[in-house]
Amino acid sequence: MSKVFLTGSNNLIIPNSPRQSRHEITYYKNYRPWYIGERILQKIWSPLKGVSLFKPLTTKFDLIHSFNAIPYTKNPWLITFESVLPRTRGKYGDKLASIVMNRLSLENCRKIIAMSEHAKEKFLRQKADFQEINLIKDKLIVIPPNFPLKISQEKKYLQGKTLELTFVGNDFARKGGIVALRIAKKSKAIKLPIKINLVSRMNYGAQVYTDCPERDKYLKDLELINLDNVFLYKNIANKQVIDLLHKSHFQVMCTLDDTYGFSILEGFSVGTPAITTNVCALPEFVKNNINGFVIDLELNKYKHWIHLGEKQKEYYWKILDKTYEKLADKVLNSLSKILDVYENYEQFSAGAIAQAKIHDSEKANIFFDNLYSEIST
């Protein structure tokens, strides 16, 4: 048994580590005040978000597993990242990146884990000119996130019943909340029996990198929350979110940018197929016409929407408005196929469960336990 310390981006830890382990696992939250985490460091200087400083004063750990943040430690360590590594964005961040990047080639850095093939490909493209890239390649592997499988029997859709869709995303516009609202409006206009659940803290506007800086541009769409086929849940527990996904027929997440879609995998774990876009890693696990529908956006070589860098342009809202409209129309077109041939829904639900089995936490527990044993000996 090894003593393993988990550190870095808190939102990545649980889906990318063992849920149960034969090793002794310690989370950084349980090791304050001696541990200096990324949240504290980025307050000092924003590029330090990509760094984790750790020097144990009371416990000797055999292994450090960090998430997004490159650790400064003499212990053996591995790192899981979602998209960019190192995450040293901000003023003079490039200078810090050149320093911490060298740590990935050190002997005590044992593994570099990409959450997706997309993340791996993007990393290798961006670091192709790095002097030690061949040494780093030998450590680079892909391990997707894991979630507990909740059900084994596919769900059915009964003809004539209201088709229930659930949207999950705190960054409301980025994740596709505006698209969900327009689906609600359009479905009423053509008398399609569709109900929309929204789970969101409603973050939108200038502070979100994909959004139009002018918040008032969203007001007309946000009025659609008052439609009688829209239901908003601002603050509910994760268990309630999963229960909502379980009773829904589809999860709809027409996102403009997303390194990974954790909520989609949670939906798959309860047999709920997804409707999403082709950005980043999403097509790796959402298979068109198998466990959902994938709607195409125009992408660059890194599989990001081509208009992401145009936020400050005067015409940006027109691009967003047109994109939201097209996505809503394409979603409705896809859903009409299910309503017309309702027996097909069962196959989509079965496809969701089949994909969830690939990401099942029980398999991940065994994998990480073996990996930790290998690295710490």
Interval 200-237: pLDDT, tens: 999 999 999 999 999 999 999 999 999 999 999 998 99
pLDDT of residue 57: 46
Cα separation, 160 vs 5, whole angstroms: 52
Phi, psi of 223 (to 5 degrees): -65, -20
* Angstrom distance (rounded) from CA 265 to CA 242: 10
pLDDT at 134: 87
DSSP label at residue 140: E
User: Between the CA of residue 208 and those of 41, 203, 317, what are the distances in Å?
Assistant: 21, 8, 14
Tens digits of per-residue pLDDT, 70-107? Answer: 888 888 999 999 998 887 665 555 666 677 788 899 99
pLDDT band at 46 (very low <50, low <70, confident <90, very high): very low
pLDDT at site 59: 66
Q: Has residue 343 got a pLDDT over 90?
A: no
Mean pLDDT of the region 106-132: 92
Is the bond into 283 cis (omega within 30 degrees of 0)? no
Least Cα distance to 118 among 143, 87, 83 occurs for: 83
Q: Do 293 and 306 contact (CB within 8 A), yes or no?
A: no
- For residue 313, give both structure tokens: 């342009």
Alpha helices (H) in 102-237, listed in sequence order: 117-126, 133-137, 172-175, 177-189, 219-222
321: alpha, beta or left? (left if phi > 0; alpha if psi -120 to 50): alpha
For residue 148, what are its two tokens? 């507990």
Entry pTM: 0.91
How much is the pLDDT for 342?
83
Rounded Cα distance between 119 and 176, Å, is 22
Please tell me the distance from the alpha carbon of residue 137 to that of residue 109, in angstroms, as a whole number: 12
Strands 163-168, 274-277: parallel, antiparallel or unpaired by DSSP? unpaired
Per-domain boundaries in the chain:
3-146+361-376, 163-358
The superfamily CATH assigns to domain 163-358 is Glycogen Phosphorylase B; (3.40.50.2000)
pLDDT of residue 198: 98
Contacts of 317-326 with C-beta under 8 Å, sequence gap 24+, read 317/212, 317/214, 317/217, 320/173, 320/211, 320/212, 320/217, 321/217, 323/256, 323/297, 324/178, 324/179, 324/182, 324/221, 325/182
Task: Residue 86: name the closest of 48, 115, 56, 117 by CA.
Answer: 48
Task: Determine the straight-line distance between the first and last CA of the chain, rounded to whole angstroms.
Answer: 10
